[in-house]
Amino acid sequence: MGRGAAVTRVCARFGPGCASNQGMSPPTDSALPSRRAPDPSEPVTLYAMSAYTSGIRKPGHFHLLRFDESQNERINRYVPHRHDFYEIIWLPIGRGVVQSDFRTFPVQDRTLLVTSPGQIHAWQAVDPLEGEILSFTREFFLVSAEQPGLLGRLPFLQATHPTPVLTLDEEEGARMDRTFQHLRQDASEAAPGRDDLVRAYITIILTLIRQAYQRRTPAMAFPPSDSENLAQRFRMALEEHFPSMLEVGDYATLLQVSRSHLNDDLRRATGHSASEIIHERILLEAKRLLIHSSLNVSEIAYHLRFQDPSYFGRFFRKATGLSPGNYRDNAHRNLLAS
């Protein structure tokens, strides 16, 4: 994105106090919106970990259940929904379709789906789907943006990863099956050290997924650079604090680097500055809410910390070429036609 476009998008968010479109300069990172949004409770259906009462579980930390146990009177996996935890779904048998954010993926035998906190997804089965659902929280791994650990080093755990669905070959599928069987066996025993075993098995499963991606994308096999590590930490921090924290300076402080260091490393790793990535995240959430929530455009604008819905409309039109209302209408027509 060019400098002029970036500045226009910043000013569209912060309003008339920014600058005119002629010869304008970007606002400082301290230019916070003065009006705070009403906090709509769960504009998109959220199934928290506490909603899952079957299977093997430690509330607030992890659960393991059969795929057919995930549909009950409190949970409808066929409607768009999101979670506040990570979810790995392993389906050795079955065919269907899964929608993840705005993309649709076919599901067949030996399919893996990786879902990050906040991602919106829904299922459509063609044949009965059989498999396992493994879910876990950041807290279970004791990770954060400051100490991201393994979770911060895995690109496929980021909501922006382009391919959350992976089909394994027979050898990969057999190994994944064995690993889930061992996990189920050890997790079902309330013995000392069970949590450590579960954590170890999750690490093994994540590593197997990582290796499967690397076999399909050899460039991923190289160890991440320092810039890529910082970019992953930044994205994890953004997910943790979105939408309450939207200032580049706050993220630089949180990650213990200067703003210029953060921007330089992000450009090297991703081709985008910190503010551009924040804007992309705002746009992603705006699209999610326009398609999957009943909030009106003004409510979405305030939810995303815009001072005024008109600024949100300018920001959205600049990024997509459509007004928020037109985008919502087009998306709903496409869903009805599909």
pLDDT of residue 158: 83
C-alpha to C-alpha distance for 173 and 107, rounded to whole angstroms? 14
C-alpha to C-alpha distance for 92 and 171, rounded to whole angstroms? 12
pLDDT of residue 10: 34
C-alpha to C-alpha distance for 21 and 107, rounded to whole angstroms? 47
pLDDT of residue 147: 67
Query: In 3D, which of 200, 180, 195, 189 has the Cα closest to residue 58?
Result: 195
Task: Name the amino acid, one letter, at 287.
Answer: K
C-alpha to C-alpha distance for 49 and 61, rounded to whole angstroms? 8
Q: Tokens representing 47? A: 């199934």
12: CB partners within 8 A, 6+ apart: 311, 312, 314, 315, 318
Domain residue limits, the chain: 49-221, 224-337
pLDDT of residue 22: 32
Task: Name the amino acid, one letter, at 247.
Answer: E
> What distance separates the 2 farthest-apart alpha carbons in the chain?
68
Q: What b/e sequence results for 190-218 when a residue is b if at least 16 CB atoms lie within 10 Å of its CB, and e otherwise?
A: eeeeeeebbbebbeebbebbbebbeeeee
The tens place of each residue's pLDDT in the chain, 338 residues long, gives 443 333 333 333 333 333 333 333 333 333 333 333 333 456 889 998 888 888 999 988 999 999 988 877 678 888 899 999 999 999 999 999 999 988 899 999 999 999 999 999 999 877 888 999 999 998 898 776 666 677 877 888 887 788 899 999 999 999 999 999 999 999 999 899 999 999 999 999 999 999 999 998 876 555 678 898 899 889 989 988 999 999 999 999 999 999 999 999 999 999 999 999 999 999 999 999 999 999 999 999 999 999 999 999 999 999 999 999 999 999 988 877 76
DSSP assignment string, 198-263:
HHHHHHHHHHHHHHHHHHH-GGGGSPPPHHHHHHHHHHHHHHHHTTT---HHHHHHHHTS-HHHHH
Q: What is the CATH number of domain 49-221?
A: 2.60.120.280
pTM across the whole model = 0.75
Task: Name the amino acid, one letter, at 156.
Answer: F
Identical fold between 49-221 and 224-337: no
Contact indicator for 142, 108 with CB cutoff of 8 Å = no
224-337 CATH pick, 3.30.70.260, 1.10.10.60, 3.40.50.2300, 1.10.287.3510: 1.10.10.60
Query: In 3D, which of 42, 116, 122, 41 has the Cα closest to residue 81?
Result: 122
